[in-house]
Amino acid sequence: MENEISHADARRITTRWPLISGISAVVLAVLLGALIATRSTPLSLDQLVLDDFLRIRADVFTDPALVMNFLGGGWFGVFVVPLGGALAFFLAQRRWAAVYFLAASAISAGVVQLLKSLFSRARPDQILVTSDFGSFPSGHVANAATLSVVLILLLQRRWVIIVGVIYTILMILSRTYLGAHWLSDTIGGALVGIGIAVILWAPFARTLSAETET
């Protein structure tokens, strides 16, 4: 009986920490958006960081930033990456991993669009790319963070953690450099992406673990 209780407790703990940490991240993103919505001017840090990027704009930085813009959004980031990733896991006979990958990507994108509509924050005037209305939160960064966390949880490799962190940071920097977002937009996007990926891990954790062991 003691072993049965301990196993049950362990399962509850396994599902509890993703829910608590993931929900906390999304709540922080909403609170940040609410704080921004109360202001008529950008946060001082937002303006300072944007001004710094404006001073260093040059082709050597703009071209890589435009590549990141392509990778993280539009038809490639919204459709090709989620569908391609899900297909890869499906072909590797990890069907629940494919479902989790696709669900996390879709729900993260949906939450981003919901918050964009809720807060309706204007983008910086110095934007270098064409984007839809709604600066908070950054969809590109949310996509990058979701992708990174999902792959980290599914593959559990140190190199995946390193690549995922670098990719997300580069996306944050590129979005701010291009003037597509304020820095706080990218932080909000990262919180949403991480939060959704971790929240969804809770219901999938046991199934994914069993799938990996078979």
Q: Tell me, what's the pLDDT at 25?
A: 97
pLDDT at 214 over 80: no
pLDDT at 11 over 60: no
pLDDT at 205 over 80: yes
Q: Tell me, what's the pLDDT at 6?
A: 44
Digit-coded pLDDT (tens) for 23-48: 999 999 999 999 999 998 999 999 99
Q: What is this structure's pTM? A: 0.91
The chain-wide mean pLDDT, for the chain, equals 91
pLDDT at 10 over 60: no
What is the rounded distance in angstroms from the CA atom of residue 122 to the CA atom of residue 136? Answer: 8
What is the rounded distance in angstroms from the CA atom of residue 15 to the CA atom of residue 18? Answer: 6
2-213 placed in CATH 1.10.10: no
Digit-coded pLDDT (tens) for 103-149: 999 999 999 999 999 999 999 999 999 888 899 999 999 999 999 99
pLDDT at 65 over 60: yes
Give the confidence band of 52 by pLDDT, cuts at 50, 70, 90.
very high
- Neighbouring residues of 81: CB distance < 8 A, sequence distance ≥ 6: 71, 105, 143, 147
